[in-house]
Structure 1
């Protein structure tokens, strides 16, 4: 009965470039593990459930593994089946909450983690509320002409947190983990200016008379109304802007680049040039849609994203230089991510508290 499900173990179809080991071989090794587990369960001295229940358990095990087995190594070396034993069995580490701290223009702070829905505060004619969907909203509750507050507010997410905010002009912003957005309570003057550290996705409200300008680590993103993603973490080597809809003008020092939908502009922190190329939109906004998506991604980049989202510290034992592809929900426990990587047989992890050691 168990053999009927053998062909259901599948890998994500993003290409398999290794000539030495194909995905069928890896799949076969995984199947071997399942058979070993089944044989162990069928030992006479421990089999008190009957053959039907044992087979049912085996099928459930296979279905669960099939659902999670989505990672593969793009440069997989041949390894023995014994190395496929995943050694990640540790305390639960996950993140699935909206977490942020709002700092007002007067310096006072509001902890948004666990805040009740409804009005939080009124700030010089602007009502700051938390909506039912967990989004922070800035709304005018009086005549706009009477509002004279030009001070800035800052919303910051910790590692392991995320948040959404609607600015006073109607612009929607999704903040990734370990990010912060500085913005005025109300936009006055000829421009709508904000400042980002980390990563965020923007749906800018259209206003041809008042361009929206985002400063991200030395790169200015200028738009009238559009959808785009910006990644500008301080510990990354570059600022990356990806356009989904509309038009974006990138400015860095004396360099100017215009992005079209589906394009990505990258500017290295120590250079003034801007590289424009086609973007993998699904991969760029995967974090906003609730999952990790990797395509020939090096392990250091993967673990950097995991560290920000799960609030863990990552260290490396020896030289680790592997590339992987796959897709998994970021709301699963970190052990699910690590186990899937270990199933490639090319890497292992040791988890102690909130410290993850990567071992090749």
Structure 2
């Protein structure tokens, strides 16, 4: 089998530019015995972005079932409840949802347990998923639209270069030491020979339907979820490293025992030395939640251990995989209500949610890749009977009696 040709066809399919003739050629290659062995890692990843196509029906899904299972290296039976981030389920679940376009059919086909299905009223105009979108506000108040900015150095802030990498993420890299004698600082925080360094702060904010990755000047990595913001110094010159967030962010903090890392969100304060944790501080969520993946943190003077979360004053055990599903490119709707899932859907697909009548309270289940379209996601939700109807940018949800 011509691996390069297969890669070309898969990539064409994944960006929705494949011709009818090329699509038939791809289907024929997938049916060949050597298909699974010819698929490389980069080809597997391309499957995740494939959009639904009318020709992907149940018959085709059955035909390619064995090949897909071999590609994703799983011999496990399909289960209704998907723990999205517990490998090998992540690649398996995403591929089936995105390639076949018949998620509920496949999840329920091989389970002995009967589960109810959410019936989706046809959406004439589908909503694409979110992506890498963010706005950077510099020290002088000027802004840079990061998703459309060219790669390379974008600005000089204080003593730090602001650089956009080829993969889209933003990093701050400290330059040469600045002399401490004489000089002035320009209004936008830029410095030069004979100048003195001053504290400059930047703010990165994501819109609804956007997310972004940032590396601070100390090496700390930050993933910012949709409708969120983080304000931070361009260089950490004080005896601590303090940032402020709104919305949701995941941190991998660079260790520095002499400079504790502090995150402030509203009235809450999280102190760490070096660890990984997630903060959910959306204004429309009923609780403030900080989940610890590894290391140790102190939230409002309470010590949190890995696998635990601080939830509005209480320490509880938490499902870490579910808490950070967004950071790993997924939705994990295990054992949550449609109302809870709707808030995540609203932020990622930039739609307003309106419940026509009481909000459904029965819990749902399901795991989905964030690259699926809105209609693709709704078709796979499994739980209480409900109608979904999209009017403009408003998603109406109505429980069925």
Fold agreement, TM-score > 0.5: yes
Please name the residue that 1:11 is paired with. 80
Matched, 1:236 2:285: yes
What is the CA–CA distance in structure 1 between the aligned matches of 2:383 and 2:281, rounded to whole Å? 31
What is the CA–CA distance in structure 2 between the aligned matches of 1:10 and 1:210, rounded to whole Å? 47
Please name the residue that 1:140 is paired with. 174
SS in 1 for 2:198: coil
**Structure 2 residue runs without a partner (length 5+):** 1-57, 66-75, 84-97, 181-195
Residues 125 and 237 of structure 1: is their aligned pair in 2 closer, same or farther, counting only changes over 3 Å? same
Report the Cα offset of residue 237 of structure 1.
Answer: 2.2
Please name the residue that 2:230 is paired with. 181
Residues 70 and 230 of structure 1: is their aligned pair in 2 closer, same or farther, counting only changes over 3 Å? farther
Q: Does the CA contact (< 8 Å) of 2:128 and 2:373 recur in 1?
A: yes
Matched, 1:129 2:163: yes
Report the Cα offset of residue 64 of structure 1.
Answer: 4.0
**Structure 1 residue runs without a partner (length 5+):** 15-60, 268-273
Matched, 1:322 2:367: no
Please name the residue that 1:47 is paired with. none
Scaled by the length of structure 2, the TM-score of the pair is 0.68
Higher strand share: 1
Report the Cα offset of residue 130 of structure 1.
Answer: 0.3
What is the CA–CA distance in structure 2 between the aligned matches of 1:77 and 1:10, rounded to whole Å? 11
- Which of structure 1's runs of 4+ aligned residues deviate more than 2 A? 4-10, 61-64, 66-71, 76-79, 83-86, 144-147
| Aligned alpha-carbon RMSD (Å) | 2.8
Report the Cα offset of residue 295 of structure 1.
Answer: 1.7
What is the CA–CA distance in structure 2 between the aligned matches of 1:70 and 1:327, rounded to whole Å? 11
Q: Does the CA contact (< 8 Å) of 2:136 and 2:144 recur in 1?
A: yes
Matched, 1:287 2:339: no
Report the Cα offset of residue 288 of structure 1.
Answer: 0.5
Report the Cα offset of residue 69 of structure 1.
Answer: 5.3
What is the CA–CA distance in structure 2 between the aligned matches of 1:347 and 1:289, rounded to whole Å? 28
Residues 90 and 125 of structure 1: is their aligned pair in 2 closer, same or farther, counting only changes over 3 Å? same
Matched, 1:65 2:102: yes
SS in 1 for 2:376: helix
Q: Does the CA contact (< 8 Å) of 2:214 and 2:222 recur in 1?
A: yes
Q: Does the CA contact (< 8 Å) of 2:104 and 2:379 recur in 1?
A: no
Scaled by the length of structure 1, the TM-score of the pair is 0.75
Task: Give CA-to-partner distance per residue, 1:80-101, whole Å, 9 cap, x none.
Answer: xxx9753233212122421111
